[in-house]
Amino acid sequence: MHLTLHADYSLRVLLYLAARPERLVSTQEVSEAYGISKNHLVRVVQTLGRHGFVEVRPGRTGGIVLARPASEISLGEVFRVAEPDFNLVECFERDKNTCPIAPACGLKGVLYEAREAFLGVLGRYTLEDVVKRSRKDLQDFFLPAASARGQ
């Protein structure tokens, strides 16, 4: 299993914001902190904003901030939005399935169950759960990037 970059970056943006809930953060800042293309992050932020995870404040003094408390952001919900076509195998997509053994194959049901278990585990955790024990560590980890900009 492999996450798309969109899902990976969505989780990274949310972690970055959750580690600094007291201020607006620019997409450029997140880009520099992770070494990720700003253009790609803009699309990720648009997705997160469209689904109510972040608030985007445009303009010269704008930025992004969590749209709701980290304790109310389910990792499972984020993953389902950021990874909408989470099909492990071709036969999960009825319209595109060309597998000749699909009608007799028992693997599809097992893989479907595994996918739902994966999503179920993510659904039991919030963004706050994954940052609450390490918020200070996360802030310190990103400190050099912020210090280089004089913040």
pLDDT digits (tens, 9 = 90+) for 90-145: 777 878 888 888 888 888 889 889 889 999 999 999 999 998 866 566 666 665 44
CATH 1.20.1090.10 fits 5-83+127-148, yes or no: no
CA distances from 16 to 21, 101, 107 (A): 9, 45, 38
In the chain, where the domains are located:
5-83+127-148
The answer to whether 68 and 27 are in contact (CB under 8 A) is: no
Distance CA 67, CA 53 (A): 5
60-93 pLDDT tens trace: 888 999 999 999 999 999 999 998 878 777 777 8
Q: What is the pLDDT of residue 151?
A: 45
Q: What is the pLDDT of residue 96?
A: 81
Q: What is the pLDDT of residue 150?
A: 45
Is the pLDDT score of 39 beyond 80?
yes
The answer to whether 25 and 33 are in contact (CB under 8 A) is: no
Residue type, 112: Y
Q: What is the pLDDT of residue 106?
A: 86
Is residue 93 helix, strand or coil? coil
The larger pLDDT score, comparing residue 151 to residue 135, is at: 135
pTM here is 0.82
Q: Which letter, b or e, does each residue of 49-75 get, where b requires 16 or more Cβ atoms within 10 Å of its Cβ?
A: eeeebbbbeeeeeebbbbbeebeebbb
